[in-house]
Structure 1
Amino acid sequence: MHKQTAHIKENPAQRIKAKLALIPVLLGLGVTGVLLYNEFNPRAFDVINFTWKSALWLMLAWLFMVGRDLGYTLRLMILSDGKFRFWKALRVIMLWEFTSAITPSAIGGTSVAIVYVNKEGLNLGHSSALVMITSFLDELYFVVMFPLLVLLAGYHGLFDIGTTNSMAKELLTFSIIGYSLKLAWVITLVYGLFFNPRGLKWLLLLIFKLPFLRRWKHGANRAGSDIINSSKEYRNKPTSFWVKVVLASFLSWSSRFLVVNALLMAFFSIEHNLLIFARQLVMWIMMLVSPTPGGSGFAEFVFTRYLSEFIPVDAALIVPVSVAMALLWRLVTYYPYLFLGSIIFPRWVRRHFIK
């Protein structure tokens, strides 16, 4: 007899190699290096002074990173109905973040996350439903927060970045497209998971009719049936359950965006913290179009163009200082996942796939 957990027999993660982490590192450092080379000014070192205040704010930035992962981990523990203890949930999150870091932003780690969750002990249907719920919660944060922050920060504050009118229009266009995609996905998941799971199964089977996915169609059919059963479980969850997972999601995403505020406060006197926070939300939506792994290169470039005006230095120093801050931001929020993932991932693959 097969195990009840219905583990995936083939290895959908086999194309993921730890050495792929080198690609986003080279891309990110390459773009940063080019920007620094073109705009290098030795006076930039004079305005970045490390003090006790800097140490405290940098420590707070790391605490926000802890909050980001803690929120994700707690949410996974709740969604798994306690089947995942803290360290197991944290391991899955680290694997998930690593996959997101080495794949294009539009793809992310969600598709492989089902494999991670399934191999850690949940059946395939429960794993699929859990990952879809996390996707729903992540996108719900954007769907709710984006219009709220536009209202609070104002249209001009978010999209008028002191450049041409066409640049503002392009930023607005990217944001509207990204927001529309997220809203459409949220509506699809709400309808499929809570109202018509059979329709979601039909969509899943339709996707697995594609030539390069067809060989997994039987597994998709079984997963679709399991999703229907898991959907019934989630629909019957009490209000307290949903309050907990929404709060965990809010903790994670808000902590993620507050890192930049803390990093800037470590070296400068910053006044427009709400606007900086709001612009990061727009940056994240724009990164949906990035074809590079984890938005490498694109993220650093957008940071220097979209957040540089909040750095209170002379105009001649804006670009080199903002490039340095962009590199620090990625060192805190991105590269640690590449480093940890490149250690954890090969061991995880050997334990679950290589006998």
Structure 2
Amino acid sequence: MEQNNSTNPKTLLKAISPQRVIWPILIGFVAVIYLLVKDFEPGTFDLIEFSWITLIGLFIAFLMMALRDFGYMARLRILTENEFSWRKTFRIIMLWEFTSAITPSAIGGTSFAILYLNKEGLNLGKSSAVVMATSFLDELYFIIMLPLILLVLDWQQLFLLNAENTSSLASSLLFLILGAYLLKLAYLIVLSYGLFKNPRGLKWLLLWIFKLPILRRWKQGANQAGTDIIESSKDLKNKNYIFWLKAFFATFCSWTARYWVVNSILLAFWCCKYSSLDHLMIFARQLLMWIMMLISPTPGGSGFSEWVFTKYLGDFIPEAGLSITLALIWRLISYYPYLFIGAYMLPKWIKENF
């Protein structure tokens, strides 16, 4: 039988080649240097005061990332019904995050996730089911949280509609976020229908859509996706509500902890000395930032993420140069570690499993 390209060791080795790891790092640093040169003003770093608050805030930021990874690990154990040990679960999550970090945000690491789970001992059908379930839960978190945020916060402030001299930027961000939200909602509805109601009907629809000339080249991938959904549906349909509540709670903790990293960084450098820190608003804007980052064509959103940080959280930071510096610290804590951990772990994993 011909080996599937996604399971070919050479393909995996290419995915972690030095070029793949270096590109997101270079793109991110070039973006930061450009923004610093463009907006830096003398005396910017005089605003930073290092103190015990700085150390405590940075410690909390790293703690939030640890909680985020623990939430992902707990969810994976729930979805696999404790099939994996904590050690093996940690390895899978780190490999998964590494793949996400070196691919465009819209693609993510799910294309390799099924392979990781399968090679660690799950059959292909259950591996597909677990990956589909994680995608379903992640999208559900975003779909639920945005309306809740709009109910409790000033939506004009949330979307920067009151900011001076940013009318065009605010309008662009608003349409971008709403468009991304509607796409997520549509994806969640289609995925839910396929997983829990009519998987064969969804596969038929996918194949019909991918008969279009512009999409025909991806028809084989659509066929495989449809097959994965059918296999996933068999395993997920009969799970009880306790199973889904536990899995969603782990998802909620993981994503929420990820967003509190920025709150912790702003607290660390005591930006509240210069402007009050509305932690709920900062959290809400990160939710919207993450939705916007999905359109980034760069690996892991490099470059685009730093720019969005400075534009969308800049009114909580007194100087543009300082906001760029904090954006870099944010990425150093929440993104770059996965590049290095994954680049270390994946060659050894390939050698052991192939």
Same fold by TM-score, threshold 0.5 exceeded? yes
Q: What does residue 122 of structure 2 align with?
A: 122
1:352 and 2:341 matched: no
Q: State TM-score, norm by structure 2.
A: 0.89
For residues 193-212 of structure 1, what are the alpha-carbon distances to aligned partners after superposition, in whole Å with 9 as ceiling and x for unaligned?
11112224435666888765
Greater shift, 57-66 or 35-44, is seen at: 35-44
Shift of 1:110: 1.3
Mapped pair 1:292 → 2:298:
yes
Amino acid at match of 2:292: M
Report the Cα distance in structure 1 between the residues aligned to 2:207 and 2:250, rounded to whole angstroms. Answer: 32
Whether the aligned pair in 2 keeps the contact of 1:75 and 1:245 (CA below 8 Å) is: yes
1:104 aligns with 2:83: no
| Residue of structure 2 in register with 1:142 after alignment | 142
Change (3 A) 1:204 1:88: farther
Matched, 1:131 2:137: no
Structure 2 Cα separation of the partners of residues 215 and 38 of structure 1:
46
1:30 aligns with 2:36: no
Whether 1:279 and 2:278 are equivalent positions in the alignment is no
1:34 shift after superposition:
1.3
What root-mean-square deviation, in Å, do the aligned CA atoms of Structure 1 and Structure 2 show? 2.5
Query: Residues 125 and 227 of structure 1 are in contact (CA less than 8 Å); yes or no, is this contact kept in structure 2?
Result: no
| Corresponding residue for residue 17 of structure 1 | 16
Aligned-pair identity (%): 51
Q: Return 5+ residue gaps in structure 1 as ranges.
A: none
Question: Counterparts of 1:151 and 1:216 in 2: how far apart (Å)?
Answer: 40
Taking structure 1 as the reference length, the TM-score comes to 0.89
SS in 1 for 2:111: helix
What amino acid sits opposite 2:244 in the alignment? W
Q: Which residue of the partner structure matches residue 251 of structure 2?
A: 249
Provide the C-alpha distance between the structure 1 equivalents of 2:345 and 2:119, rounded to a whole number of angstroms: 14
Matched residue, 1:57:
57
2: CA distance between counterparts of 1:230 and 1:217?
A: 15
Secondary structure (helix, strand or coil) at the match of 2:15 reads coil
Partner of 1:165: 167
Partner amino acid for 1:347?
K
Distance of 1:39 and 1:9 partners within structure 2: 46
CA contact (8 A) 1:128 1:227 kept: yes
What is the rounded CA distance, in whole Å, between the counterparts of 1:32 and 1:215 in structure 2? 40
What is the aligned residue count? 341
* 1:293-341 superposed Cα distances (whole Å, 9 cap, x missing partner): 1110000011111101112x3xxxx111001100100000000011111
Give SS of 2:103's match.
coil
SS at match of 1:296: coil
Q: Deviations over 1:75-101 (max 9, x none)?
A: 011111111121111111111111111
Instruction: Decide whether aligned partners of structure 1 residues 143 and 28 sit closer, same or farther in structure 2, where only a CA change above 3 A counts.
Output: same
Moved more, 174-183 or 204-213: 204-213
Task: Show CA shifts across 1:269-297 (max 9, x none).
Answer: 24311111000111111112111111100
1:151 paired residue number:
151
Task: Report the more deviating stretch, 195-204 or 129-138.
Answer: 195-204
SS in 2 for 1:293: coil
CA distance in 1, matches of 2:173, 2:220: 41
Shift of residue 246 of structure 1?
0.4
Deviations along 1:160-183, one digit per CA (max 9) or x if unpaired, are 243332221111100011101110
> Structure 1 residues 34 and 113 mapped into 2: Cα distance closer, same or farther (>3 Å)?
same
In 1, Cα distance between equivalents of 2:91 and 2:104: 22
User: 1:18, 1:346 within 8 Å by CA — same for their partners in 2?
Assistant: no
Asked if 2 retains the 8 angstrom alpha-carbon contact of 1:24 and 1:294, the reply is: yes
Task: Tell me how far 1:235 sits from its aligned partner.
Answer: 2.0
Equivalence map 1:214-233=2 (5 Å)? 220=224, 224=227, 227-228=229-230, 230-233=232-235
Q: For residue 213 of structure 1, report the CA deviation from its aligned partner.
A: 5.6
The whole-number CA distance in structure 2 between the counterparts of 1:86 and 1:241 is: 19
Kindly indicate whether the alpha-carbon contact (under 8 Å) linking 1:18 and 1:341 is maintained by their aligned counterparts in 2: no
Between 77-86 and 241-250, the greater mean CA deviation after superposition: 77-86
The equivalent position to 1:180 in structure 2, one of 154, 160, 182, is: 182
Structure 2 alignment gaps of length 5 or more: none
- Residue equivalent to 1:199: 201
Q: Distance in 1 between matches of 2:79 and 2:106?
A: 24
Asked if the contact 2:132/2:232 (under 8 Å) is kept, the reply is no
Question: Post-superposition shift, 1:13?
Answer: 3.4
One-letter amino acid matched to 1:272: D
Measured in 2, the distance between the counterparts of 1:110 and 1:207 equals: 22
